[in-house]
Structures are given as structure tokens and as C-alpha cells.
Amino acid sequence: MTGLFTLLKKGSKSSLMAAIVNFVLGTLKLVAYIFTGNVAMFAEMMHSYGDAANQLFVWVGSAVSKKAPNEKFPFGYGRLVNIVCLFAVIIVAILAYETVLEGFHHVMHPTHQEQTMQQFLIAVGVLLIGVVLEGTVLYKAGQEVLEEVHKPTNGIHPFTTSYANIGRAKPATKLVFMEDTVATGGGVIALIAIVIARFTGWTQIEGIVSIIIGLAMFYVVFKVFMENAAGAIGRADEEMEVHASKVILEHPEVSDIKRLVVMKEGEDKHVEALIEVRNHEFNLRQLTEIKKEITNNLLQQPHVTDVNIEIMEDDGLDDWKSGNGSSINRNIYE
């Protein structure tokens, strides 16, 4: 049991925080629905509870994915977080569909039910609380994004520069960040729509906003699904390959890179490289020292957990710059 709790502590903090916040919001919206009888508030309540279950699922998956490798799974459980995120976006897709469908029905068949001022204030108050809480989770997720890419996390950076770096974030963090971007933005425009509908009588605007939010959720589904599907299958990280090549070529004894692959296993990255050295007279101890230095430098890079380096003598060809990926039939020092 102690081991389980220790493992769960390694889960995505932003996912856990989002799950708690959405559960609280769902409960607030349930109370608001009881007092107002507003069907839209009931839908929002179900949406929040669905998001809470979704984020809890992601949190557990991200924790279990950090379980240590064993004989059965020698590369660890890293891809599990990709699989979990795939299941999570299915939930989001269902919610997005229901949101768009409800919005469409509301546009085609608008209701003109009169709300008392008390009911209006309750609805506005709950949405305001929702925007604040969702914005807090979004800020925290933005901080995690920036921490993972070693960028400043203070001030308004989590609301600004985090969007430019979201592509390099962990799958669970990215899912939470994108979902809460939609949730926070959706809460703001839903609040505006309720106010406009109240004072102008144009109730169709609530349906239009619902459709917009649903389409934004579908965009999140598409982006997250495509990335995690590739991650579950196993894909090369081209951006990290470029960065790793710079780290390797910085070593004074390395003349070229014959082959370099960086594979993503969930949040973890595995580096395999075949490099060429300048001096043909190196003994085994010197080659081992070069290999150790390069390996240590690569392990210091974000999310790199495993490095396999092979060394061969310089063949006089500029393979890395030319992009030649042909097979090698030469002596290789390990």
C-alpha cells in the first residue's frame, strides 16, 4: 500500500488539481441546478463531473507510467500515459458532441423561460467561481508546462509563453492545459452570453456559445488524440534529435554522427547513437571514458532516461550533415 501511495505522488499534479477543482465545480453547479431548475446548468454540472473523472483517470495513468522497468517491460511503462490520454480524449469527445448537440437544439428551438433575478445571480455567481477556479488550474498547468521546458514560471508567463511551448510538454500536462484553456475561455463567453440573453432577450446566443465551446473541445480532442496515438505506437522525437546531436558534437573527440534516434516512451526519451571519433588510436579505456561523458551529458537533458552510445572510427564522410542513413558495415567499438 505504501508503494502505491509513493507511486501516486509521481502523478501529474495539474491533473489531480483539475480533478479536484472540477468535482467542486460540479457540486456547486448541482446546487445551482436545484435552486434554478436551469437545464443548461444541469448540463454544466454533468460536464464538470465528467471532466473530474477524466482528469482523475489521467492522474492515475501518469503515475503508473512511472513504474520502474522490469523483465516483462524492460523499457518501462512510459507509453501507458499515452494510452490513458487516448481514453481520456474519448470522454472529452463525448462531452463535446453533447455540448454541440445541446447548443444546436437551443439555437433551433430557443426557450423563453423567464428567470428571476435570484436565479440569474446564482447562475452568474457559479460561472464566476468556475472561471476563477478553472483559471487557477490553467495557471498551474501553464507553470508545469514552463517548468518542463525550463522557462520562467513567474508573472503572466503561464498565461502567455506557455502556449508557445505547449508542444514540448508532457502528455498529461498538455491535456490538462488545453482542456482548461477551453474551460476557462468557455466560462467567460458563457457568462457574457447569459448576461446578453438576460438583458436583450436573445436566448439563441447561449446555444451559439455552446456550439463554439463544443467545437473548441473537438479541436483539443483532435490534437491530443493524434499526438498520443503516435506516442502509443512509438515515434521518434525529431526536435530532441537535433538537440541531442548538438550535445554529442560538442564533445571535442567526436567528429561525426553516423546514426541518431530519440524514441519517446510516454514522458521518457531513449537515445541511441552511433558516433565517430577523431583519433583512431584510442584504447578501450579512453573510448569508455568518451562514451561515459557523452552519456552523462545526454542524461542531463529533459526527460532523457536511457542512453545507448556506440563508437566507431571516423570514415571521412560527413554523415550527420548530409543526412545519410545507410547501414554500417564497419568496426564498432562498444
182-204 per-position pLDDT tens digit: 888 888 888 888 888 888 878 78
Average of pLDDT values for 219-236?
78
303 and 158 belong to one structural domain: no
42 and 190 belong to one structural domain: yes
Domain end call among 233, 256, 291: 233
What's the pTM?
0.70
118 and 147 belong to one structural domain: yes
CA dist., res. 263 & res. 237, Å (int): 6
195 and 242 belong to one structural domain: no
CA dist., res. 88 & res. 320, Å (int): 39
Top-ranked range on mean pLDDT: pick from 45-59, 232-246, 305-319 = 305-319
52 and 176 belong to one structural domain: yes
Domain end call among 188, 207, 233: 233
The more confidently predicted of residues 242 and 228 is 242
CA dist., res. 85 & res. 59, Å (int): 10
CA dist., res. 288 & res. 276, Å (int): 13
Average of pLDDT values for 241-246?
89
73 and 172 belong to one structural domain: yes
Residues 150, 152, 155, CA angle at the centre, nearest 5°?
A: 155
CA dist., res. 257 & res. 137, Å (int): 43
The answer to whether 145 touches 164, Cβ cutoff 8 Å, is: no
What cell numbers appear for 248 in the block?
A: 554529442
Eight-class DSSP state of 165: S
Structural domain tally of the chain?
A: 2
pLDDT confidence band for 266 (50 / 70 / 90): low
Q: What share of the chain is helix, strand, coil (3-state, %, to 5)?
A: 65, 10, 25
Share of the chain above pLDDT 70, in %: 88
216 and 293 belong to one structural domain: no
20 and 149 belong to one structural domain: yes
32 and 112 belong to one structural domain: yes
Average of pLDDT values for 43-55?
76
Cα end-to-end distance, the chain, whole Å:
42
Measured CA distances, 97 to 58, 62, 106, 205 (Å): 21, 26, 14, 18
- pLDDT at res. 73: 74
Please report, for the domain that includes residue 292, its CATH number: 3.30.70.1350
44 and 134 belong to one structural domain: yes
163 and 116 belong to one structural domain: yes
**Mean pLDDT for the chain?**
81
150 and 299 belong to one structural domain: no
How many CB atoms sit inside 10 A of residue 65's CB? 27
Domain end call among 210, 233, 256: 233
Q: Which domain holds residue 274?
A: 238-333
pLDDT surpassing 50 at residue 106 = yes
The answer to whether 78 touches 213, Cβ cutoff 8 Å, is: no
pLDDT confidence band for 309 (50 / 70 / 90): very high
